[in-house]
A and B are shown apart, each in its own frame.
Chain A
Amino acid sequence: MADNWSFVFAAYGLAVVVLVAYWRFLVRRERELSEGSQILREGSGMSEQARHPAP
């Protein structure tokens, strides 16, 4: 039977594209959310400082 390498590369290529795309989605989403929560923490820290100014 013919080796059909094109089918092998198509299958592995598709898997690489899909898995890397999902990994990038997870990394990007995690970074966005981590940055967002950091900004919120800093914001609440500032408001705390505003309420209780240092002497």
Chain B
Amino acid sequence: MRSLLGGVTLVGLAAGLVMGFAIAPREATQGNVQRIMYLHVPSVWVAYLAFAVVLVASIAYLVRRAEAADRLAHASAEVGVLFTGLTIATGSIWGKPTWGTWWTWDARLTTVSILFVMYLGYLLLRGMIEDRERGARFAAVLGIVAAFNIPLVHFSVYWWRTLHQPPSLMKPGPGTMPGIIVTALLVNFAAFTLLYAYFVTRRARVLRLEAEAEA
């Protein structure tokens, strides 16, 4: 099952690359550097998804005390931190040729950085507390509190004057992007979602094996 998911993920990522580099046209204003979008936007989507899963799994853990829910929250937070880091790095690389700077304390960039630090703190907290049950409980509370930052990140471009552009896809109203660019983006969204599922499945299994080894 896991190798099937891995295979489908690889096919999806290859399809995403073909769509992003061979099928989608060169963007008229930014040129080919806009192709970073097919990596940057799906990365932040996975980060949102991962932290939403942390929220749901944390609530489930506090209600039912199921270790599987705790492992899911832990695995999802780790993968979320990975993709948030990737979002910040690829955004910075995209920002240099388009905005003329690697970094600016813009509302979107600042809120994403806070999100990154909060979940990094979540992982550190888990590592610091030796009592597994206590650590899981504290982490679940932090996982729920930190999730309130997700809408703040998403709507920051509407609430404050920012250099970062507003969302092109996840917004109300008709889309402004050409259909082929939207399709390329959606293929990459699907591929990155599969990659998220693959990583979380493997990480959760590693966490289960670690718990068994410690017992």
| Interface set of A (CB-CB < 8 Å, partner B) | 1-5, 7-8, 10-12, 14-15, 18-19, 22-23, 26-27, 29-30, 33-34, 36-37, 40
Asked whether, in the complex, the Cβ of B203 is within 8 Å of the Cβ of A26, the reply is yes
A26 touching B202 in the complex, CB below 8 Å, given contacts A14-B93, A33-B210: yes
Asked whether, in the complex, the Cβ of A19 is within 8 Å of the Cβ of B195, the reply is yes
- Grouping DSSP codes into helix (H, G, I), strand (E, B) and loop, the B interface class, with mixed when no group exceeds half, is helix
- Name the contact of B39 in the complex, choosing from A11, A37, A40 (C-beta under 8 A): A11
Q: With an 8 A cutoff between CB atoms, is B35 at the interface?
A: yes
- Grouping DSSP codes into helix (H, G, I), strand (E, B) and loop, the A interface class, with mixed when no group exceeds half, is helix
Complex CA distance for A36 and B97, rounded to whole angstroms: 49
Q: B212 to chain A: which residues have CB within 8 Å?
A: 37
Asked whether, in the complex, the Cβ of A8 is within 8 Å of the Cβ of B36, the reply is yes
Residues facing A in B81-137 (CB within 8 A) are 82, 85-86, 89-90, 93-94, 96-97
Complex CA distance for A36 and B178, rounded to whole angstroms: 53
Q: With an 8 A cutoff between CB atoms, is B209 at the interface?
A: yes
Complex CA distance for A33 and B206, rounded to whole angstroms: 8
Q: B169 to chain A: which residues have CB within 8 Å?
A: none
Q: A40 to chain B: which residues have CB within 8 Å?
A: 213
Residues facing A in B1-54 (CB within 8 A) are 26, 29-33, 35-36, 39-40, 43
Asked whether, in the complex, the Cβ of A15 is within 8 Å of the Cβ of B97, the reply is no
Q: A23 to chain B: which residues have CB within 8 Å?
A: 199
